């Protein structure tokens, strides 16, 4: 994909905003019986011009990878990883730049032949570095059991470890 666009918007009284955007992107996939793979990249630059305020510039470089597997023994597994390096500039304000990294792994599998017992697991890690800093680590486990047509039970565990602007939180929840 290669795209160049220009958008003109009438904003406040007698103010016009012109947005020029350039984007280059690609999405590639490979599918086989073991692990289908998808890879994408994107480069986007955007400039917003206004008469009464300074111009704004946005640049983003993204990369991503996704893997999927479905098997009788392990169930459905999905792995996703992506990264976005970015910068934001505007005259009169502090420039912002950094990188956001995201990783997630999920698995859903049946624990019985009749599919009345199932386990869902999810792990996610996110880190923002640069002008602003934060991170998140989440782990979720869910077990669902269908005892009969009229009775079912669910058991959940959630762990979260979050850090943002120097503030740290850790949570454990059991249900």
State residue 91's pLDDT score.
77
pTM attached to this predicted model: 0.80
The greatest distance separating any two alpha carbons of the chain, rounded to the nearest whole angstrom, comes to 68
Do residues 19 and 7 lie in contact, with contact meaning Cβ atoms separated by under 8 Å? yes
Cβ count near 146 (within 10 Å): 15
Do residues 26 and 1 lie in contact, with contact meaning Cβ atoms separated by under 8 Å? yes
State residue 63's pLDDT score.
96
Rounded to 5 degrees, what are φ and ψ at 155?
A: -125, 130
Average pLDDT by stretches of 10, the chain with 175 residues: 92 83 94 85 92 87 93 88 92 86 95 91 95 93 93 96 91 95
Distances (CA, A) of 127 to 57, 92, 148: 23, 28, 43
**Three-class DSSP category at 71:** strand
CA atoms within 13 A on the CB side of 147: 5
State residue 157's pLDDT score.
97
């Amino acid at each position: 994909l290669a795209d160049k666009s220009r958008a003109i918007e009438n904003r406040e009284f007698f103010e016009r905003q012109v947005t020029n955007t350039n984007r280059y992107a690609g999405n590639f996939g490979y599918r086989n019986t073991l692990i289908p793979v998808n890879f994408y990249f994107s480069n986007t630059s955007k400039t917003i011009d206004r008469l009464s305020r300074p111009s704004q510039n946005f640049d983003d470089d993204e990369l991503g990878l996704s893997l999927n597997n479905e098997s009788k023994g392990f169930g459905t597994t999905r792995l996703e990883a992506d990264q976005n390096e970015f910068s934001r500039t505007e005259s009169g304000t502090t420039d912002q730049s950094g990188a956001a990294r995201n990783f997630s792994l999920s698995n859903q599998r049946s624990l019985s032949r009749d599919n009345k017992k199932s386990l869902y697991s999810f792990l996610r890690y996110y880190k923002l570095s640069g002008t602003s800093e934060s991170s998140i680590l989440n782990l979720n486990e869910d077990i669902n059991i269908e005892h009969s047509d009229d009775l079912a039970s669910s058991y959940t565990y959630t762990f979260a470890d979050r850090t943002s602007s120097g503030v740290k939180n850790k949570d454990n929840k059991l249900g």
